[in-house]
Amino acid sequence: MVCINKIRIGIAGYGNLGRGTELAVIQNPDCELTCVFTRRNPSGLKILTENVPVYSLSDASLHIDKADVLILCGGSRRDLPEQGPALAKHFNTVDSFDTHAKIPGYFDAVDEAARTGGKVSIISAGWDPGMFSIMRAYGEAFLPSGKTYTFWGKGVSQGHSDAIRRIEGVLDAKQYTVPVEAAVNAVRSGSDPELSVREKHIRECFVAAKPGADKAAIENDIKTMPDYFAGYDTVVHFISMEELERDHAGIPHGGFVIRSGRTGVDLSSQHISEYSIKLDSNPEFTSSVLVAYARAAYRLSGEGLSGAKTVLDIPPAYLSPKSGGELRKELL
Amino acid sequence: MVCINKIRIGIAGYGNLGRGTELAVIQNPDCELTCVFTRRNPSGLKILTENVPVYSLSDASLHIDKADVLILCGGSRRDLPEQGPALAKHFNTVDSFDTHAKIPGYFDAVDEAARTGGKVSIISAGWDPGMFSIMRAYGEAFLPSGKTYTFWGKGVSQGHSDAIRRIEGVLDAKQYTVPVEAAVNAVRSGSDPELSVREKHIRECFVAAKPGADKAAIENDIKTMPDYFAGYDTVVHFISMEELERDHAGIPHGGFVIRSGRTGVDLSSQHISEYSIKLDSNPEFTSSVLVAYARAAYRLSGEGLSGAKTVLDIPPAYLSPKSGGELRKELL
């Protein structure tokens, strides 16, 4: 008989992603949840798993022996830029930092902290960045003469929904990013089209306005909002708060990465690869990915490595609880 | 200015896969073809690239300084079981050994040889085994509660075509493996069906018979052939040699790996991921994948590693000519 210690997982931040991570840990028998850190009052936080202590995030450095890997479930805008480097000094960490343009800087900050602490930090895991990044890398490597296309949706964009909620007169809102089917089909056909931002995605908004609000003004504010909506074809539907809660409560998402490339004499052979996902719950899938990368962080740390890594640095085998021999026999 | 040596690629075996590899090397500016080994008479072999020496495969050990990585392009049935371990002693190697059931034994044999020689060997690269294996591994890791389905086709199976050609009265033949659309759609819908071998694929055969051959006997021999056709719904079309050459000259292939899984409280959220490929030329795509893994073998060897690896052991970043910083900026 062989006794193997479970990987002790800690969660930092108990929102949608933190709750999803807690559920994902239960699905992985080689992992166990051993602590939760929160910015709220710990005594007021009720979590699902019994007998797991909840600590104040500000006391995290007092509990570095409580987890093998800490999964950072805070937001990319305000939480992770500060928490990532601070916690990487004390814990092996995994996060889903997803502000694409800021990833290089975030990597450097986390890398320095993790090296100082002798820890491993895997940043920007999830699906985009994450699995979609991996598919873009494989696509380029296997078909160097070609083009990569990423489409998102149909799914809820939290950032865009939040942006609508900040408009005067808006009670609540959900924004769906919807890929334009004609564009997707053109890419799938191998015609390698040049596509503008507007040609790839539509933005569809469901808005509950406050009583007496100026709907025309709200619609105009949405459609002209720079960065978020101005470059897109945007559709706005005004619905009641009841309808919003009844029909738009979920957080589904999805998307595809398509690589179209050519090989052979005169590049006469065409090849298309496509990776697609259809998710009922964006945060639950993302947190499930984070737990798999926690397994990888634990192993890399056990091998004596330190510093920041991304999903592109992790061999697929490190995500699996199976041994090399089992993987070769069952999956190869 | 920085000068970087190109990765010197050798090819062992100059059939469809070897020719595809030669073309793939041209598409990768950080690689160059430096030698070809053949079992035929080297002086009689004309290759595409100018000024590249062709040697007899039996003299390979005399030319170990001619290539950083040798790509083994022989067949899995007769060539690789012998050539793989023999060449792994002297060269870093990459191959596409694809007899799934024999991969564990082949791995062990190559591993021992590569360790003895202090070399790195990446075995069973390509698309299945290869990229499909990777997708099965990611699928399981991200959605541990779920099912994985692999479909092949529509595409030409060389092994099945060869089997038909061995039947008495057959002049030439092409066999297509065709996924059953109803089965694929059931999987995509998330209904997690149990599917028998027969329910997943049809085998469609195009056969040119010799003049006067007994077509009914040929059809019966095909449909009842154990291992190859007996468990499947098989369709046989007799056509002329002219039609076969005109309409069935290519070697297209493709397929999909679908993971269907559930997360959340009561596993109430469903997620589907799908990776699909559509290839004009199976050997050209496979050899393009092999060249990307040659880059990884070269790097791992440069880091001082030795022994056999599979695609599951290789981080995606090792396949790319881009630096870690470039990958984080451009692809993550």
Chain A closest-CA separation from residue B55 CA (Å): 24
Contacts of A296 in chain B (CB under 8 A): none
State pLDDT tens for residues B272-299: 999 999 999 999 999 999 999 999 999 9
Residue of A nearest to B143 (CA): A288
Alpha-carbon distance of B129 to A157, in angstroms, equals: 36
Chain A, 192-211: which have a CB under 8 Å from a chain B CB?
A: none
A3 has a pLDDT exceeding 70: no
Decide if A23 and B265 are in contact by the 8 Å CB cutoff: yes
Mean pLDDT, rounded, for A42-58: 95
Mean pLDDT, rounded, for B117-143: 98
Provide the phi-psi class of A153: left if phi over 0, else alpha when psi is between -120 and 50, else beta: left
Alpha-carbon distance of A217 to A225, in angstroms, equals: 12
Contacts of residue A214, Cβ cutoff 8 Å, sequence gap at least 6: A169
A98 close contact with B: CB closer than 8 A? no
Query: What percent of chain B has a predicted confidence (pLDDT) above 90?
Result: 97
DSSP B71-126: EE-S-TTTTHHHHHHHHHTTSEEEE----GGGHHHHHHHHHHHHHHHT-EEEES-S
B1 has a pLDDT exceeding 70: no
pLDDT value of position A4? 73
For residue B272, the surrounding DSSP H or E stretch is strand B269-279
> How does residue B3 score in pLDDT terms, banded at 50, 70 and 90?
low
Tally of CB atoms within 10 A around B128: 21
A277 has a pLDDT exceeding 70: yes
pLDDT value of position B192? 94
pLDDT value of position B328? 97
pLDDT value of position A227? 87
User: Across the interface, which of A104, A136, A332 has its CB nearest the CB of B312?
Assistant: A332
B76 close contact with A: CB closer than 8 A? no
Q: Quick check: B319 and B296 in contact, CB under 8 A?
A: yes
Chain A closest-CA separation from residue B240 CA (Å): 26
State pLDDT tens for residues A184-237: 999 999 999 999 999 999 999 999 999 999 999 999 999 999 989 999 999 999
Unique residue bearing structure tokens 């060897």: B301
Note the pTM of the prediction, 2 decimals: 0.96
Q: Which two tokens stand for residue B328?
A: 């984080």
A1 has a pLDDT exceeding 60: no
State pLDDT tens for residues A8-34: 999 999 999 999 999 999 999 999 999
Alpha-carbon distance of B312 to B134, in angstroms, equals: 6
State pLDDT tens for residues A116-165: 999 999 999 999 999 999 999 999 999 999 999 999 999 999 889 999 99
Establish whether this prediction's ipTM goes over 0.85: yes
For residue B241, the surrounding DSSP H or E stretch is helix B241-247
Q: Considering only CA atoms, give the Rg of chain A.
A: 22
Average pLDDT for chain A:
96
Chain A closest-CA separation from residue B255 CA (Å): 10
Alpha-carbon distance of B254 to A299, in angstroms, equals: 34
Contacts of A141 in chain B (CB under 8 A): 292, 295, 316, 319-320
Alpha-carbon distance of A158 to A172, in angstroms, equals: 12
For residue B9, the surrounding DSSP H or E stretch is strand B7-12
B2 has a pLDDT exceeding 90: no
Decide if B320 and A285 are in contact by the 8 Å CB cutoff: no
Half-sphere exposure of A299 (CA within 13 A, CB side): 18
In single-letter form, the type of residue at position A177 comes to T
State pLDDT tens for residues A78-103: 999 999 999 999 999 999 999 999 99
